[in-house]
Structure 1
Amino acid sequence: MTLDIRSPLDGHEVGSLPTATEDEVTRAVRAAVAARGPWADTPAADRGAAVRAAATALRAAADELAATVAAETGRPVDSAREGVLAGVSTLEQYAELGPVHRGRSLLGSPGATDLMVPEPRGLVVALTPWNDPVAVACGLLGAALVTGNAVVHKPSERCPHTGAHLGDLLSEHFPPGVLHTVTGDGEVGARLAGDPSVDVVAHVGGTATGRSIAAATALTGAKALLENGGNDALLIDADVDPVWAAEQAALGAFANAGQICTSVERVLVHQDIAEEFLEALCAEASEWNADPQPLVDRRHREAVHSHVAQAIADGAEALVGGAIPEGEGAHYPATVLRGCTPDMRVMREETFGPVAPVCVVSSFAEGLGLACQDEHGLAATVLTASMTNAQRAWRALPVGTVKVNAVFGGAPGGAAQPRGASGTGYGYGPELLDEMTTTKVVHIGLPRQR
């Protein structure tokens, strides 16, 4: 069986890669199991140096790898290169943080030494997505490797060439067996997630897959580290500039064709500025449609359009977009939906496309209540000039990340824990090193001598 990739821009064939067989997956796991002990015993400074060397190699190949990302996913080359360089930066960060990742000394009796010592968990399986394939993979791989774990990485079947190329670039800087890349579909991922030799399964992707991984690891005892889907709300207060709010909404909903983990998935706007906001949002959508970016493939486009079509059937109105364009490729227009209600599928589920479903609310309190009523818990954004409302919102929203007056951005080094259907555990930042290690408590007392 092969993974056949076609360009989402025009449908031409990008290439094919074989799906790993059951024997190939088993061999990769066994080789990683054999390598994890010696790699764990490697001095932390040497592990950091290896990750730094891998980052240097990735930087040198940034243009070539970005072209591969663009060919497979349709992401513009400049944006794809930014993603590759973000991966470089992440590897460099973990190369510095890994050797200084430390435990604690405890205050026991004067005649004893008590320690809390971090140790590698062992074998990490990393299952990574297609929407930002290099940056996300480098986060999980860098944190796992620098803390002394061996890794088997399966990139998304929608960008296997990107994942294979990344694996070739990085693996040569580590001892044999420490880093493997296997290509394949969901069956390969499920086989890896359920392998009893695996100690951690780290997954970034959809909620359904995350839940199946959690079920598999419950049987094997492996740790599940999951960043799954989100249904991020944008709550807009009555006291902000509606044109600026529309700019923020468009950026959050349409950037990377809406294929960002923390894209705006539903908009809750105060009725006092709703008409001005919608007019400005339609103008923004038309500008985004002047130079459209395709979705990753036609299968995903059908899923996105099904959300839009059902919303229209249920009473929403497409002010801009809302129809599949003619021609090759997997393009879908930036779409603005008016008259959406909280019970619509487009408001309840992650669409993961360039769609801005707008629900008008009568008060900030009503909007906040609706924003909180969701099974997901990844992120949310609030636009308000009221410090009172900002404080109310960030404390009440049951999500891992709250952004006030900016749909994207934040200081480096932040690490959030998603909630509910969006997953569990730190997926990035310095705290990811804690997820990749386990703590041993050591008590060293004095013997009774003869």
Structure 2
Amino acid sequence: MPQPSYPTDPPVSVTAALARRVLDVCAALARYTQTPGSITRTYLSDPARQVNAELSAWATRLGLAVRIDAAGNLRARLESRRPAAPTLYLGSHLDTVPDAGAYDGVLGVVLGFALVELLAGTPLPYSLEVVGFSEEEGVRYGVPYIGSRAFVGTVAPLLELADRGGQTVREAIVGYGLNPDDLPAARAEGGALGYLELHIEQGPVLEAAGQGLGVVSAIAGQDRVLLEFRGHAAHAGTTPMDQRHDALAAAAAFVVEVERLARTVPGLLGTVGSLEVQPGATNVVPARVRCSLDLRHARDELRAGALQTLLTAAERCSAERGVGLSSEVRSRQDATPMDARLRGLLHRAAAELGEAHAELVSGAGHDAVIVAERMPVAMLFLRSPGGLSHHPDEAVLEEDVEAALRVGQRFLHLLAQEEVG
């Protein structure tokens, strides 16, 4: 088979116009919401159906074969002319948190279709499939990644989860007009080349560095822990300070330890985001405090060591005040390193185009975490102005969208050259 030629640099006018259209499409999709006046689009909702319909129409115009799989994921496929060619998947998610911005997840799917449009029929030695995952945020059922779990074949244990209205995932799938018995066909086909997810950074690192793009090195692992400090309620006006067993004082000392350690260890993120104080009266020494701990790092062994250090600190803070302590790890997600080959091609694509770019760790979770169980993954971040995400003022710069299109197209061509070389 003769090696095809892969043009790498479309005219700036082409990518600039397409970048503007990408932003227009994101703005148009933001109109599909369950809460007028803000953006809220949960799993298998009517607005999700409307978004799928809009993007399916674009995919059809591009000549892609379109389907909605049994989990509600949008799948749009461009078959390679090469026999038994592997598949490169492009995508992100189409659901949102309540009162969301217009770009988290959605931008990556729209950019996927825009990259197919940029190819303009150029033959590739691999198939391309754009995936709009139906549920990443976990809003409706309290568990994230339903769509991507179906994509890798691990969704079955979640089918009997119920939402606040009592409807199970299985029932929601049926109500949407899909068949849960077809979930095996939602799995990615054999011969996967990899998965590329383009996504806003959702943080301030790229903006602080003055760079529009970033290549992700890893998605941080995460522990979520619930701690309970148990003291004794007492009268605030009659109990001497040296005779108190103040659960909140112990918890407060622990919170300071979390901040101190996270500031000391490079790359460690520690957050106590929830405190429940009982009895919660102004004139009563607190008897019981429940608090959360969210701990993240790109290296699992370092995160595990930090967690042990903090649990030891919690014990010390409790013992010093005569307060009992219990803790429970509620969830644990190991770090997800990006594939070295795909990550290297992203760096090379950006460098060849003269695009300044950073390498950074993603502190947030993404569908790539789940997809990595099945195939190599890579992520390209776009700068988030103000570091805002999960917020109505979430934004992205047109110049960064254009840069992502150019880097994404060069990446596709470099990958094609490797595949035929």
Same topology, TM > 0.5: no
Which protein is richer in helix relative to its size?
Answer: 1
TM-score by length of 1: 0.27
Q: Which has the higher contact order (CA 8 A, sep 6+)?
A: 2
